[in-house]
């Protein structure tokens, strides 16, 4: 059944577009990554981000701090990167160790360098429809939906999940694409019926396989943002990744669907690179490359 949306392939295309945009610029954008602690997953993410940043022709800086780093030490690095005119984007890898206040650290990032789109200013610009840096995962979700459907105008998009990091910005970004948007959540009445009304169903609740095949309208586009670790049946004592959608069964109903892993995940890094180029252009008053428009 050829209805899989290949996030790895679309991410590779996006990175290629970013590389072409970078090659045409009179400057070399620079992305700085701050990693605190030794969380294995975070180390893998950061390694991939640095690799792809350099592959697209941009400059990468890395600042590593031990898990024992204080709030003051982390904030000091962010402020130094804010003041560095050569740095275009700042990414603080989350999650931070428990003793650190993530919100306070993010609030220190210069909004013009907020390539994760997490600051209050970035969120405000999204709500107001003003140019800015949009969160990477919702951006990737929109790009994947467009890869499957083309123009999204008039499509009914149901976003299942209302988190500040994903659900709410995703709803606003699909609204920017002229979708009719419904935000659903755990308190939504007749939730399966609401989900089944969607032309585009975006699942972002963090509950493994919550969305059943009967929640999906025949032919709908399903974007599964969830990444959940569950015990492996075939390998006792180990874990596997599943999404918020019961993928195997939903695939028989959906017109297009993202897998987990290999769907939205690869797009998050690709959109981070895209944001770094946009930040570099905005900061230097260079027109944004047309090829990076969504």
* Active centre residues (catalytic): 49, 93, 116
d(CA 97, CA 83): 25
Task: Assess contact for 260 and 247: CB atoms under 8 A.
Answer: yes
Query: Residues annotated in the binding site for NADP(+), as ranges?
Result: 161-163, 227
User: What are the phi and psi torsion angles at 260 (to 5°)?
Assistant: -135, 120
Return the bridge partners of 257, or none: 4, 222
Q: What secondary structure does DSSP assign to 170-195, as a single string?
A: HHHHHHHTT-EEEEE-TT-TTHHHHH
Query: Residues annotated in the binding site, as ranges?
Result: 161-163, 227
With tokens 């459907």, the residue in question is 149
Return the bridge partners of 65, or none: 36
With H, G, I as helix, E, B as strand and everything else as coil, classify residue 228: strand
Q: Where are the alpha helices (DSSP H) in 56-179?
A: 71-83, 102-107, 120-128, 136-149, 167-176
**Does the CA dihedral 100-106-110-112 come out positive or negative?**
positive
Q: Both tokens of residue 171?
A: 């709803």
Q: Both tokens of residue 242?
A: 């599943």
d(CA 282, CA 259): 34
Task: Assess contact for 257 and 7: CB atoms under 8 A.
Answer: no
Residue 225: CA count within 13 A, CB half-sphere: 27
d(CA 166, CA 249): 25
Fill in the DSSP letter of residue 214: G
d(CA 106, CA 74): 10
């Amino acid at each position: 059944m050829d209805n899989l949306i290949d996030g790895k392939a679309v991410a590779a295309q996006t990175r290629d577009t970013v590389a072409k945009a970078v090659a045409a610029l009179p400057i070399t954008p620079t992305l700085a990554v701050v990693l605190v602690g030794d969380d294995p997953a975070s180390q893998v993410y950061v390694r991939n981000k640095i690799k792809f940043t350099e592959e697209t022709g941009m400059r990468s800086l890395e600042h590593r701090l031990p898990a024992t780093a204080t709030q003051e030490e982390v904030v000091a690095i962010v402020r130094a990167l804010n003041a560095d005119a050569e740095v275009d984007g700042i990414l603080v890898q989350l999650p931070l160790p428990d003793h650190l206040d993530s919100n306070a650290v993010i609030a220190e990032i210069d909004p013009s360098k907020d390539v994760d789109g997490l600051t209050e200013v970035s969120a405000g610009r999204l709500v107001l429809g003003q140019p800015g840096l949009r969160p990477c995962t919702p951006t990737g979700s929109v790009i994947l939906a467009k890869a499957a459907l083309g123009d999204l105008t008039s499509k009914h998009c149901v976003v299942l999940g209302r988190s500040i990091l994903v659900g709410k910005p995703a709803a606003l970004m699909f609204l920017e694409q002229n979708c009719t948007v419904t935000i659903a959540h755990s308190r939504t009445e007749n939730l399966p019926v609401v989900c089944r009304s969607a032309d585009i169903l975006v699942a972002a609740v963090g509950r493994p396989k919550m969305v059943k095949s009967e929640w999906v309208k025949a032919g709908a586009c399903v974007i599964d943002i969830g990444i959940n670790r569950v015990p492996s049946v075939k390998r006792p004592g180990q874990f596997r990744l599943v999404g918020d959608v019961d993928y195997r069964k939903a695939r028989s109903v959906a017109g297009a669907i993202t897998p987990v892993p290999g769907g939205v995940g690869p797009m998050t890094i690709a959109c981070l690179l895209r944001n770094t180029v946009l930040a570099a252009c905005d900061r230097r008053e260079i027109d944004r490359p047309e090829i990076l428009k969504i």
